[in-house]
A and B are shown apart, each in its own frame.
Chain A
Amino acid sequence: GESVGLHLPTLSVQEGDNSIINCAYSNSASDYFIWYKQESGKGPQFIIDIRSNMDKRQGQRVTVLLNKTVKHLSLQIAATQPGDSAVYFCAEKDRGNNDMRFGAGTRLTVKP
């Protein structure tokens, strides 16, 4: 069946470095993608989204890249800070549905 997954379950980076979190998806009908951040004891928080007619979108210190050819999504965080430590989820939505499919998450740890 279709699935949304992540390449790495954990990622540890040094404060100030850039972080890259990857996500693979398999549904070729997906037209909308989101990255969420979930801190301990809280619900997922929207970070950035991208539609399938784009291949790159930038926010504040974050960039999402979409490669539809290989069905790959990545989240880049510039100058990673301790407050960025959290679990990051990718999610995708099929153009024919209103529900999201979520990856299992990558835990990002920022070392001071």
Chain B
Amino acid sequence: DVKVTQSSRYLVKRTGEKVFLECVQDMDHENMFWYRQDPGLGLRLIYFSYDVKMKEKGDIPEGYSVSREKKERFSLILESASTNQTSMYLCASSPGNRIYSNQPQHFGDGTRLSIL
């Protein structure tokens, strides 16, 4: 089974802090994704990566950055945390190349982040 592991289940940070959310997958997947999930809004794509050191903006990249130094690890960074970034953050991975990947994304269990 695919295993996507997010480093923290719950995290509380203060406004202005730099926050790192880590995600690791063990299936050698090329593609990795970061979403946030808010009540009534569903999953919204923040950033994704289809290869090491590659990244592309999703629908809501403002206030976030990402890092993919190794294939199995994809980090989400909140440069200066704000209260409107309080949310559930979900990491996912999928196999395949950039264009023709009709494969399901596999998700971690999420990090519930609260910014005070």
A-side residues, CB < 8 A to B, are: 31-32, 34, 36, 41-46, 49, 51, 89, 93, 96, 98-100, 102-105
Q: Are A46 and B106 in contact (CB under 8 A)?
A: yes
Q: How many A-B residue pairs have CB under 8 A?
A: 50
Residues of A within 8 A of B48 (CB): 98-99
Residues of B within 8 A of A44 (CB): 43, 90, 107
B-side residues, CB < 8 A to A, are: 4, 31, 33, 40-43, 45, 48, 50, 58, 90, 92, 94, 96, 98-99, 101-102, 104-110
Q: Are B107 and A45 in contact (CB under 8 A)?
A: yes
- Nearest A residue to B97 via CB reads A98
Q: Are B42 and A42 in contact (CB under 8 A)?
A: no
Residues of B within 8 A of A105 (CB): 42
Q: Are A99 and B42 in contact (CB under 8 A)?
A: no
- Nearest 10 interchain pairs by C-beta: A43-B107, A104-B42, A102-B43, A32-B102, A46-B104, A43-B109, A44-B107, A102-B42, A98-B101, A42-B109
Given A45, A93, A96, A99, which contacts B102 in the complex, CB threshold below 8 Å? A93
Q: Are A43 and B104 in contact (CB under 8 A)?
A: no
Q: Are A43 and B90 in contact (CB under 8 A)?
A: yes
Give complex CA distance A99, B107 in Å: 13
Q: Are A51 and B102 in contact (CB under 8 A)?
A: yes
Given contacts A43-B108, A43-B110, contact A98 B43 (CB under 8 A): no
- Nearest B residue to A32 via CB reads B102
Given contacts A43-B90, A104-B40, A105-B42, contact A99 B104 (CB under 8 A): no
Give complex CA distance A43, B104 in Å: 14
Residues of A within 8 A of B50 (CB): 98
Residues of A within 8 A of B108 (CB): 43
